[in-house]
Amino acid sequence: MARKSSAPVATAVATTPAALATPPAKKTPVKAAAAPKTPKEPKVAKEPKAAKSPKEPKAPKAPAVKSDSPPAKRNMTAVSAEFVGRIASQLSEDLAARLKQRDVKEVCEAFVRTIVDDVKAGNTVAFTNNFSFRRKLRGARTYKNLKTGDPMKKEQHFVFSMDVKPALKRAFESLPVTTTGGAASALEQVADGAAVPQEPAAEAVEVAA
């Protein structure tokens, strides 16, 4: 019997020079075909801006014309805040607590307005032992303009007149005269017997109510 050989059998791989020289072919990735680019729309030429019209020259301002209408009337019943405060300080604590500053001001202005309106109407407003208010009629007269020296004529007109009662006059006559409070007014400095500067005297005719 023939003995079996225990040596491994070498398996010969047949190789050819062409096989050894040529490397295996690489797979080339296939790129997807790019979509064709959309052509850009041609730019539309902008319309030229319209030329600005030249500004019209401003019309010259008309010269101010003085109005023949009388000037606006002033508030003849206006009362200062300082005076209103002094009035409020004279009120009782209960009344002062219920009234505001503007309420006191409104009362003061109504008081003055009532006096002025009554005197305009020809009525006499009297405060016992103090003073009274009434209107008087002054006749036409001629006086001298202090600035130009020209004679001026004034027609007859009404004036607001206040008559001080003797009791109030005596109350002022008893006041002590001192100079420590500062310079006195021009009227306070008039000496006894000196004339007080005023308008030319004219006869005053009282108008009945």
Overall pTM surpassing 0.85 (yes/no): no
The domain limits of the chain are: 75-121, 125-175+201-209
CA 137 to chain centre: 42
Please give the Cα distance from 116 to 79 (Å, whole number).
14
Q: Tokens representing 67?
A: 């109005």
Higher pLDDT, 26 or 121: 121
Q: Check whether 178 has a pLDDT greater than 90.
A: no
Q: Check whether 57 has a pLDDT greater than 60.
A: yes
Question: Minimum mean pLDDT among 29-33, 63-67, 105-109, 187-191: which range?
Answer: 187-191
75-115 pLDDT, tens digit per residue, is 666 889 899 999 999 999 999 899 999 999 999 999 999 99
What DSSP state is assigned to residue 163? E
Please give the Cα distance from 207 to 119 (Å, whole number).
11
Higher pLDDT, 51 or 208: 51
Please give the Cα distance from 133 to 118 (Å, whole number).
9
Q: Check whether 157 has a pLDDT greater than 90.
A: yes
